[in-house]
């Protein structure tokens, strides 16, 4: 029978003998072989035969055919054509739900074998197709998912890290601890319902982009204590500050801290927040207003004005207050803070600088007392200007100093003679 007659018989769905089907599959005309390879009624034996066809388009048709026997799919996992393996990857990945490495059923076991080989394929495109197909599948094989999550190509691991419900908290912690590919932490940060431990690990990684994505993630329920630490870092990372200002909910401590340093173009957004209680909203407005007043005042002063000249000018105008030291520290103006302390205490700037550099908590506290600074603000002076470790600072006792006036006066007299 002629090829054209056999092809006509095949197209009309009439049953072909094995020899007739093989004759079609062996045709010199690649279009005939490709048609047979793509037909849903092609026999498993013929599809197995065509899986090793010399023409890649024929093998591609076999890879795409849903009725191709799994034995043929196994052969195609080693195909030299990336396109063939990519087509196969998309088909096999869709068959993966519920599969495991311990399959007893022969067909399911071969399906898992094909999937595993494709997940280890040298071609990034093949692995990426598997990852994209499996990213939302709740019962995808855990071994395959973990392999893809640890892939060294972001295009492969990202969809799994962002979405896969198969990954456990332990999986995520292990991935973070092993210095994953750049961008993978940001992908994890976009997951919903992140465990607290994972969010802590992301913050501890010091990956600026990952923390930014964590803040931007509407599904991340970040603990207040962690938000406060991120806020401290946001004073030096604009991207974090921008995300904090627009987060749906903020602890009042974070809102007040943001008011200390947030860039001018973000002030409006901070003031418009609706989640702050009236008292906190008032304090935020006062802090922002103070900052804007200081900024306007500084803009009007000659650029050549030294911190000491500024402090003396404000003192003369009756605008220099002990609280100015805390505001200066919040703005990272350490030299100005020292100048203010010198003017308020009546001590030479050299002496003030010397006492603060002596690494003495008592000396720094005595200096604050002399300048009229509150015991609470004195803690910040100790840490920021005196370089005293937080655990070694002298804390307030009630609303006042923990050291008597007599002891502080004695301490100050002692240290004045040294500088």
134 domain residue, yes or no: no
Quote the pLDDT of residue 372.
95
Find the mean pLDDT for residues 244-273.
78
Of the candidates 331, 330, 324, 329, which has an alpha carbon nearest to the alpha carbon of residue 345? 324
Q: In the predicted model, is pLDDT for residue 214 greater than 90? A: yes
Number of domains in the chain: 1
Residue 371 structure tokens: 């300048």
**Summary mean pLDDT of the chain:** 89
Q: What residues pair up with 400 in beta bridges, in sequence order?
A: 397
Which of these, 164, 167, 168, 212, lies nearest to 186 by C-alpha position? 212
pLDDT above 90 (res 410): yes
Across 16-28, average pLDDT: 82
| pLDDT for residue 250 is more than 90 | no
Question: Quick count: other Cβ atoms within 10 Å of Cβ 297?
Answer: 14
CA distances from 150 to 77, 89, 124, 178 (A): 21, 18, 13, 9
Write down the pLDDT at residue 332. 84
Flag whether 220 is in a domain. no
Cα 98 to Cα 95: distance, rounded to the nearest angstrom: 9
Tell me what the mean pLDDT of segment 221-245 comes to: 91
Q: How far is CA 317 from CA 36, 134, 261, 297, 310, in A?
A: 95, 69, 26, 12, 11
CB burial of 82-105 (b: ≥16 within 10 Å; e: otherwise) equals ebbbbbbbbbbbebbeebeeebee
Determine the Cα–Cα distance for residues 64 and 38; give it in Å rounded to an integer.
7
Which position has the token pair 């024929």? 58
Residue 364 lies in a domain: yes
Is the confidence at residue 146, as pLDDT, over 60?
yes
Range(s) of the domain holding residue 359: 306-419
Please report, for residues 140, 147, 160, 168, 195, the alpha-carbon distance to residue 173 in angstroms, rounded to integers and kept in the order given: 20, 15, 15, 9, 10
Question: Quick one: pLDDT at residue 381?
Answer: 94
73 domain residue, yes or no: no
In the predicted structure, residue 6 carries a pLDDT above the cut 90: no
For residue 341, being part of any structural domain is answered with yes
More confident residue, 321 or 19: 321
CA 18, CA 24: separation in Å to the nearest integer? 10
Q: Is residue 352 part of a domain?
A: yes
What pLDDT does 299 receive?
A: 56
Percent of the residues in the chain that have a pLDDT greater than 70, as a whole number:
93
Q: Is residue 363 part of a domain?
A: yes
Q: How far apart are CA 49 and CA 36, in angstroms?
A: 11
61-70, 99-108, 346-355: the lowest-pLDDT one = 99-108
Span 104-142, pLDDT tens digits? 899 999 999 999 999 999 999 999 999 999 999 999 999
Say if residues 81 and 61 touch (Cβ distance below 8 Å). no
Lowest mean pLDDT among 15-24, 83-92, 187-196, 257-266: 257-266
393 in a structural domain: yes
Any bridge partners for residue 397, and if so which?
400
Q: Is the pLDDT of residue 301 over 90?
A: no
Of the listed ranges 264-268, 272-276, 297-301, 304-308, the least confidently predicted one is 297-301
Q: How far apart are CA 158 and CA 89, in angstroms?
A: 18
Q: Give yes or no for residue 289 having a pLDDT over 70.
A: no
Token duo for residue 197 = 């431990």
């Amino acid at each position: 029978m002629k090829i054209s007659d056999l092809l006509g018989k095949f197209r009309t769905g009439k049953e072909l003998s094995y020899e007739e089907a093989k004759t079609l599959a062996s045709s010199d005309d690649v279009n005939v072989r490709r048609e047979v390879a793509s037909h849903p009624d092609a026999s498993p034996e013929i599809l197995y035969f065509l899986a090793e066809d010399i023409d890649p388009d024929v093998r591609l048709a076999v890879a795409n055919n849903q009725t191709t026997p799994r034995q043929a799919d196994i052969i195609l996992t080693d195909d030299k054509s990336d396109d063939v393996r990519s087509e196969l990857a998309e088909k096999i990945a869709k068959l993966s739900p519920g599969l495991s490495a311990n399959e007893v059923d022969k067909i399911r076991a071969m399906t898992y074998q094909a999937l595993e080989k494709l997940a280890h394929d040298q071609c990034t495109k093949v692995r990426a197709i598997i990852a994209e197909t499996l990213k939302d599948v709740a019962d995808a094989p855990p071994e395959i998912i973990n392999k893809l999550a640890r892939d060294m190509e972001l295009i492969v691991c990202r969809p799994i890290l962002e979405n896969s419900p198969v990954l456990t908290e332990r999986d995520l912690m292990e991935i973070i601890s092993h210095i994953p590919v750049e961008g993978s932490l940001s992908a994890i940060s976009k997951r919903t319902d992140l465990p607290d431990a994972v969010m802590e690990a992301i913050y501890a990684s010091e990956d600026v982009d990952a923390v930014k994505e964590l803040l931007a993630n509407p599904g991340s329920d970040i603990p207040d204590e962690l938000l406060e630490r991120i806020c401290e870092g946001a004073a030096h990372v604009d991207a974090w500050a921008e995300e904090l200002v627009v987060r749906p909910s903020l602890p009042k401590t974070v809102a007040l801290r943001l008011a200390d340093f947030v860039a001018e173009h973000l002030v409006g957004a901070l003031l418009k927040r609706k989640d702050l209680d009236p008292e906190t909203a008032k304090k935020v407005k006062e802090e922002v207003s103070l900052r804007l007043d200081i900024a306007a005042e500084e803009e009007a002063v000659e650029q050549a004005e030294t911190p000491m000249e500024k402090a003396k000018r404000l003192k003369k105008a009756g605008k220099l207050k002990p609280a100015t030291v805390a505001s200066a520290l919040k703005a990272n103006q350490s030299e100005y803070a020292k100048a203010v302390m010198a003017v308020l205490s009546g001590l030479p700037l050299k002496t003030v600088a010397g006492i603060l550099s002596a690494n003495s908590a008592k000396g720094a506290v005595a200096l604050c007392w002399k300048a009229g600074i509150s015991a609470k603000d004195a803690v910040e002076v100790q840490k920021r200007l005196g370089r005293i470790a937080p655990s070694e600072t002298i804390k307030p006792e009630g609303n006042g100093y923990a050291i008597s006036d007599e002891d502080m006066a004695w301490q100050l007299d002692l240290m004045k003679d040294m500088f």
